[in-house]
Amino acid sequence: MTPRGVVRKGICSNYLQQTLPKLSPDGKLIQSTFPRKPSQVRLFISPNPHFRLPGQDSLSINMTREMLSGGDAYLPLNSSLLMFAVGSGIAPFRAFWEELEFLERSQGNVQVERVLFMGCRSSSDFLYAKELQSLTSQRGRGNKLLTAVIPVYSRENVVVKRYIQDVMLDYEDMIYSILNDDNAFVYMCGSTRSCQGIESTLASILQSCGEDDLTFIQATNRIKEYKEFGRIKQDMFG
């Protein structure tokens, strides 16, 4: 329900809620007294094989120890990361930190900058909050798997809505340093509109913090180059 009292139902979740299942949660056939037959749901899978940690594009999902013996397999641990998740866009990043934990256990800790901006409506919508909190605590020899997790709540303040692209300007020096000095890889996952706003703000930060006096068009072209060379990867929907 919106602040004005309008009820808005999700497209996919609302559709699934109206379907009639064939099996119960424990896998047993449901004996229904309704004349309706179980619903047939049409779906398709849209994979994004390039939305993976640096150096992992060519690896299988089922990585064996032999596959991890090469130097490139450990590139994720050595690469600085800037991650931007909006709402359910946090989902692929969970696979990222689980993979990093796996690589850490086999290769050891590496201290690099890994920052995640998480955008949602309110603190109650912050998915995996406790799990992320544990990843930013001191571990082992003192390093953190994630340097920082920065939540952005767009509806906490009913007067002023703030989105990730607005809060990014509060951290522009940090973002520029990680992007430019540490040659970070950038990942965005969320709605098309949100990712476009984040991308535009990255260009603004390159323009305002850089020492080469870029125009906004030049900064935008540099962002396009980063995308072409695989330093910026996006998984957008909606």
CATH code of the domain in which 153 resides: 3.40.50.80
For residue 36, tell me if it sits in a domain: no
For residue 98, tell me if it sits in a domain: yes
Beta bridge partners of 132: none
For residue 154, what are its two tokens? 């767009």
Given the DSSP bridges, would you call strands 81-86 and 114-120 parallel, antiparallel or unpaired?
parallel
Beta bridge partners of 237: 191
Q: What is the pLDDT along the chain (238 residues), one digit of tens a residue?
A: 566 777 777 777 788 878 877 777 888 877 766 677 778 887 777 777 789 999 876 654 444 444 445 555 568 888 999 999 999 899 999 999 999 999 888 888 888 999 999 999 888 888 898 999 888 876 555 578 999 999 999 987 767 888 999 999 999 999 999 999 999 999 999 999 999 999 999 999 999 998 888 999 999 999 999 999 999 999 998 7
pLDDT of residue 4: 73
pLDDT of residue 62: 46
For residue 44, tell me if it sits in a domain: no
Domain of 80, in residue numbers? 67-237
For residue 21, what are its two tokens? 């299942």
Closest by Cα among 207, 205, 206, 199 to 234: 199
DSSP string, 123-147: GGG-TTHHHHHHHTS-BTTTB-SSS
Say which residues have a Cβ less than 8 Å from residue 80's Cβ, sequence separation at least 6: 112, 113, 114, 178, 182, 183, 184, 185
Give the global pTM: 0.79
Q: How many domains is the chain partitioned into structurally?
A: 1
For residue 20, tell me if it sits in a domain: no
Give the three-state DSSP class for 122. coil
The answer to whether 48 touches 56, Cβ cutoff 8 Å, is: no
The answer to whether 153 touches 121, Cβ cutoff 8 Å, is: yes
For residue 17, tell me if it sits in a domain: no
For residue 108, tell me if it sits in a domain: yes
For residue 198, tell me if it sits in a domain: yes
For residue 136, tell me if it sits in a domain: yes
Q: List the 114-120 sheet strands across, edge first.
A: 148-153, 114-120, 81-86, 185-191, 232-237
CA distance 115 to 80: 8
pLDDT of residue 190: 93
CA distance 38 to 17: 13
